[in-house]
Amino acid sequence: MFKGFYTVASGMIAQQRRTELLTNNISNARTPGFKEDQSTIRSFPDMLMSRINSTNIPTENGLNHMYANPTGGINAGIYMQETLANYTQGQLLETELATDIALINGQMPVNADGVEGTVMFRLQHPGGGEAYTRNGNFTVDAQGYLVSAQGLYVLNDNGQRMQVNNDDFTLNAEGMIMSGDTQVGRVGVAYAANPEVLMKQDNGLFRLDGGGNLPTAYGVQGVAFSTQQKYIESSNVDTGRAMTELMTAYRAFEANQKVLQAYDRSMEKAVNEIGKV
């Protein structure tokens, strides 16, 4: 009976966490560059139940031989194993703002684990090192530096702050910024061969797990991408599918809740009525 409580409770916890994940995805459906989270729900290993018996061995000392008879298995419940971001390309939205830049994925190598690489803008993190984002909703600060929506400095391909002076510049498909006929610099773009090593943080930022910085994406063999000025990449959340999955998770939570209530009534009956005998 108590094992049933644990099994149902684990199901409720897993579905609650999945509901929170899907709710966060839906709330960020209009956030530029947002990458939806995906969950993996797995079951705990099943346990094999056995009955311990003994038999007398006809010896002078009257020894007993212990043995176990398998009586069947029991499920130990489920859990949400991990949360991974989906790095697929979102749709491009035209803004007509010169400081908005979108990254367009081209050919990306696939590693030995079957995971496709991705590219991201390089930002200077206030805590040291670099942060990464797909949100190209940039602006120019009072000192003429290109900054992100969170106020972080956008870096060039040499890891230095990108200074454009004003928003009167043009950007080509190779990421080079031109002010008139003068080259200002190339927007910094990093390449993650395995995006699963990135840690997702607030405001659409990513950082490398364990510290360190990602290598530049320019000149990497097999990596093809381009930049588009006056466009931003929208979220890759499919709101229709996310709403359907949210309702499924909610119904699964309700079903587990009803089973838990049935267990509770059975225990109440066992304590109040059987205990009187």
> For residues 273 and 277, what is the distance between their CA atoms, to the nearest angstrom?
7
> For residues 154 and 97, what is the distance between their CA atoms, to the nearest angstrom?
17
> For residues 207 and 133, what is the distance between their CA atoms, to the nearest angstrom?
9
| Cβ contact 133:154 at 8 Å | no
pLDDT score at 258: 86
Domain regions of the chain by residue span: 2-82+238-276, 88-233
> For residues 78 and 46, what is the distance between their CA atoms, to the nearest angstrom?
10
Predicted confidence pLDDT, tens digits, the chain (277 residues): 566 677 787 888 888 888 999 999 999 999 999 999 988 776 655 555 555 665 555 556 656 656 556 655 555 566 666 788 899 999 999 999 999 999 999 888 888 778 889 999 999 998 889 999 999 999 999 999 999 988 999 999 999 999 998 989 999 999 999 988 889 999 999 999 999 889 988 888 999 887 789 999 998 988 999 999 999 999 999 999 999 999 999 998 888 888 888 877 877 777 677 656 5
pLDDT score at 66: 60
pLDDT score at 266: 79
Place of tokens 């809740």: 257
Beta-bridge partners for 104: 226
pLDDT score at 36: 93
